[in-house]
């Protein structure tokens, strides 16, 4: 029961009514896109990219305020914020790679590696701070043994805390999270860039080459916006802190994927309306 006397909400389950409403919104967005004469391929790219971002955020080990006092494991900042930092670093790399090579696969891989590199450096420096400056070894509060290295944690957990630092499984989760969010963000950017590169010259009646900087900037701004929408949705699904893929909260990930796909579909449809040719 909740504090207000109603049935308990949240948890790991998927709400069938909510999911149904979400799927209807998703299908309506796709249908509306098609009805207005747009190709639905870029929208599918945006939806997949959004789902990747929502999925990747759940890997990032975030301890929030308790982690800043060594009271809980993870990185001492907010879920959406850290994921955005990693994903946007990936987006930077992906956009640059696409500019230089024009190859879709290289750009997406470049975005993924950019996000992963940012997270690997950040996670390493977090552990360096805990170990070298604070004298605190890493210990998980959610599992007794690291699933990858086999290190045991209960005896390394200081009294009165839920653990601290970044055990290897959390570091691994952080890097995977950076890779997946970087990949998703770049996918969204490339889908939007394709729409604006073809749509803007038509409605502005200008040469494609002259419109290119505007198309890139618009796609970049919208990609950042999409990224934050999906990262914040995933953060709400996590509710507070998460240690990484071994955390029981990770089981909530299907709900986030559905939510992010629906939000991305609707936002994607809105972002396409900018280049809607009304003939005016």
Partner 1 sequence: MEEIVLGIGITALAGAFATVAGAAEDTESDIGSQGDPNSQVQLAPQMGYIHRIFNKAISGEPPAYGAWCAIGAGVAWALMQVNFNPALAIILGSVIAVFVQGVYCTSGYLGRTASLAKFQQPVYIDIIKSLLSVTMAHAFVAIFCTVAMCHLMATALHHPFALPLLGLVWGIALGAAGSATGNPFYGKERQYQNQKFGAGVPISASGNIVRYAEAGQRSSLDNGWFTTKFAGPASGICFGLIVFLELWRTVLFEKMVAGWGAIIVGVILILIFTFIDRWIEVWGRKTYGPYTAAEEASS
Residues 82 to 101: which contact partner 1 by CB under 8 A?
82, 84-86, 88-89, 91-93, 95-101
Q: Which of 15, 19, 71, 198 binds partner 1 (CB under 8 A)?
A: 71
Contacts of 99 (CB under 8 A, 6+ apart): 216
Select the span of 51-59, 66-74, 247-255, 261-269 touching partner 1 (CB under 8 A). Answer: 66-74
Helix residue ranges, H only, 133-251: 168-204, 208-238
Contact status: 213 vs partner 1 (CB under 8 A):
yes
* 217 near partner 1 (CB under 8 A): yes
**Quick one: 39 or 152, whose CB is closer to partner 1?**
152
Partners of 164 in the beta sheet? 139
> Which residue, 22 or 163, has its beta carbon nearer to partner 1?
163
Of 19 and 120, nearer to partner 1 (C-beta) is: 120
CA distance 199 to 265: 19
Residues 159-188 that bind partner 1 (CB under 8 A): 159-168, 171-172, 175
Tokens of 80: 């959406």
| Smallest distance, partner 1 to C-beta of residue 92, A | 5
Which residue is it, tokens 């994927």?
257
From 263, 216, 217, 265, select the one nearest 237 (Cα to Cα): 263
151 part of the interface to partner 1, by CB under 8 A: yes
How many chain residues are in contact with partner 1, going by CB under 8 A? 85
**Inter-residue contact 45 to 111 (CB < 8 Å):** no
- Asked if residue 209 binds partner 1 (CB under 8 A), the reply is no
Q: Which of 84, 60, 54 is nearest to 241 (CA)?
A: 60
Residues 8, 9, 133, 280: which binds partner 1 (CB under 8 A)?
133
Q: How far apart are CA 150 and CA 178, in angstroms?
A: 24
Residue 123 found at the interface with partner 1 (CB under 8 A): yes
């Amino acid at each position: 029961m909740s504090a207000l006397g109603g049935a308990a909400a949240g948890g790991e389950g998927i709400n069938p009514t909510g999911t149904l409403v979400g799927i209807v919104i998703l299908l309506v967005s796709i249908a509306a896109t098609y009805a207005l004469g747009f190709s639905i391929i870029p929208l599918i790219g945006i939806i997949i990219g959004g789902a990747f971002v929502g999925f990747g955020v759940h890997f990032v080990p975030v301890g929030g305020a308790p982690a800043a006092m060594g009271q809980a494991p993870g990185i001492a900042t907010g879920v959406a914020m850290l994921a955005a930092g990693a994903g946007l670093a990936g987006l930077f790399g992906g956009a640059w790679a696409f500019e230089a090579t024009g190859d879709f696969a290289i750009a997406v891989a470049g975005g993924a590696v950019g996000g992963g590199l940012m997270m690997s450096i950040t996670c390493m420096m977090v552990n360096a701070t805990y170990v070298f400056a604070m004298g605190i070894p890493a210990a998980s509060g959610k599992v007794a043994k690291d699933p990858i290295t086999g290190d045991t944690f209960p005896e390394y957990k200081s009294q009165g805390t839920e653990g601290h630092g970044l055990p290897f499984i959390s570091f691994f989760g952080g890097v995977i999270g950076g890779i997946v969010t970087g990949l998703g963000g770049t996918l969204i950017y490339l889908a939007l860039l394709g729409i604006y590169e073809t749509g803007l010259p038509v409605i502005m009646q200008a040469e494609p080459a002259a419109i290119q900087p505007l198309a890139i900037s618009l796609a970049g701004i919208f990609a950042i916006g999409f990224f934050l929408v999906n990262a914040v949705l995933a953060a709400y699904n996590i509710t507070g802190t998460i240690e990484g893929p071994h955390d029981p909260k990770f089981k909530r990930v299907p709900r986030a994927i559905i939510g992010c796909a629906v939000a991305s579909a609707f936002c994607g449809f809105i972002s396409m309306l900018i280049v809607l040719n009304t003939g005016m």
